[in-house]
Amino acid sequence: MAEIITLTAAHDGFGFTALHAQPEGPRPQEGGRGGVIVIQEIFGLDQYVREDVARWSARGFEVLAPSMFDRGEKGFTALHDEAGFARGKELALANGPDNAMGDIQACIDFLKDRGPVFLVGYCYGGTMAWLAAARCEGLAAAASYYGGGVAGMAKFDLRAPVIVHLGATDPHIPAEEVKAAIWTAHPEVPVHVYEASGHGFNNDGRPDSDLADAELARQRTVEFFAQHEAS
């Protein structure tokens, strides 16, 4: 069962909260499978983040989902509507990339002594996943889902391998353009476009979510992490 813990970011000493879950699923005889950091959409640690934390825990990973906007509004969670989007965007912009990377680094440092550390992020978190792969230390691999800022960061040098998932019908992110930008700079990065899905397709039950696509993306991510667990 997940619990709320507090971690401290080294760059500014701020104490932020995070949802923490121990591994509950099958794992190797000695030790666990490592850790997974789940980075939220701009709506905070909502039901979809909590469901994702549970999925990763059930696969045998220790999981952390930091509350990324605690400096602006502690424990922020919003509905997936116009008002929630506007407030989440406001908090994301105010928080900035340096604070986000500081919090992610603190999560990596918390998990790293117990195995490889992976990161998966969605929407806002998808952009932060790409940025963390470029700036943070100690990541074994990252998975970026429909990150709106990834195309603009495509040329960044990467410290960790990344897999990218995009929805073909996403009205906010032109999947083929993002794929082209990534492959121009990083032809080694696997980029998958899901024809039946739009934005937010990892959120089961949402209008743009196709369960078959979501399950395929999850399996590809698990396999990608397994390939890089010794990184």
Q: Which tens digit of pLDDT belongs to each residue from 59-112?
A: 999 999 999 999 999 999 999 999 999 999 999 999 999 999 999 999 999 999
Amino acid at 157: D
> Exposed, middle or buried, 97 (CB in 10 Å: 0-12/13-18/19+)?
middle
Tokens of 127: 């952009």
Residue 30 pLDDT more than 70?
A: no
Q: Is pLDDT larger for residue 28 or for residue 118? A: 118
Mean pLDDT of the chain: 94
Residue 98 host element (H or E): helix 82-111
Distance in angstroms (rounded) separating the CA atoms of residues 111 and 116: 8
Here the CATH number for the domain that contains residue 166 is 3.40.50.1820
Q: Which domain holds residue 60?
A: 3-23+32-227
pTM: 0.95
Count of structural domains within the chain: 1
Q: How confident is the model at residue 26 (pLDDT cuts 50, 70, 90)?
A: low
Q: Where are the beta strands (DSSP E) in the chain?
A: 3-8, 15-21, 35-39, 62-66, 117-122, 139-145, 162-167, 191-194
Residue 32 pLDDT more than 70?
A: no
Q: Is pLDDT larger for residue 202 or for residue 25? A: 202
Q: Which tens digit of pLDDT belongs to each residue from 180-201?
A: 999 999 999 999 999 999 998 9
Q: Which tens digit of pLDDT belongs to each residue from 149-180?
A: 999 999 999 999 999 999 999 999 999 999 99
Distance in angstroms (rounded) separating the CA atoms of residues 105 and 16: 12
Amino acid at 51: E
Q: What is the pLDDT of residue 29?
A: 45
Among 102, 138, 100, residue whose Cα is nearest residue 121:
100
Q: What is the pLDDT of residue 209?
A: 83
The proportion of the chain whose per-residue pLDDT surpasses 90, expressed as a percent, equals 90
The proportion of the chain whose per-residue pLDDT surpasses 70, expressed as a percent, equals 96
| Other C-beta atoms lying within 10 Å of the C-beta of residue 24 | 16
Beta strand 191-194 with 162-167 is parallel
Q: What is the pLDDT of residue 33?
A: 85
Q: What is the pLDDT of residue 206?
A: 84
Instruction: Judge contact between 97 and 109, C-beta under 8 A.
Output: no
Instruction: Judge contact between 76 and 91, C-beta under 8 A.
Output: yes
Q: What is the pLDDT of residue 31?
A: 52
Q: What is the pLDDT of residue 210?
A: 87
- Using only the alpha carbons of the chain, give its radius of gyration: 16
